[in-house]
Amino acid sequence: MRHVALATVTAAGLYASAVQLAAGQSVLEGVYTVEQAKRGEAAYAKECASCHLDDLSGTDRGPSLAGDAFLTAWTDRSVGALFDRTHKTMPQDRPGTLPAGMTRDIVAFLLRANDYPAGATELPVDVAVLNAIRITRKN
């Protein structure tokens, strides 16, 4: 029983640390990994490109997910909002069917496609942590 309590305390501490580290964080600080974005690129090609196109430029069935259009839609919003929107509403013909890990990887790919730097730590699936990470414009 003592090991269970210790594990619970440790997990709670790690979660609190993750939330604290993400608090006030920006996508300019490398919040995803290159490997994660590569997984997201493969998932995007399979699940998203038919509406948003391979180059993310968008169609009448799905908006552009890169460049000025992306920045206009998402600047000053959280990565959590992007994750949540994608997870709940995509793909358009099967909303809410993407696994959370795949959605997270697709979000990492979108950040890479918009020239945000990669880092050493993967984006988590936890929306509370993602909500603390802001999408900002590069200077």
SS3 of residue 59 by DSSP: strand
SS3 of residue 78 by DSSP: strand
**Residue boundaries of the structural domains of the chain:** 2-134
pLDDT value at residue 114: 98
Tokens of 56: 């993310």
Mean pLDDT of 54-61: 96
- pLDDT band at 1, cuts 50/70/90? low
Measure the CA–CA gap between 78 and 101, rounded to whole angstroms: 18
Mean pLDDT of 73-93: 97
If you count them, how many residues does the chain have? Answer: 139
pLDDT value at residue 19: 44
138 touches 49 (CB < 8 A): no
Average pLDDT score over the chain? 88
Q: Which option is the CATH number for 2-134: 3.20.20.70, 3.40.50.720, 1.10.760.10, 3.60.20.10?
A: 1.10.760.10
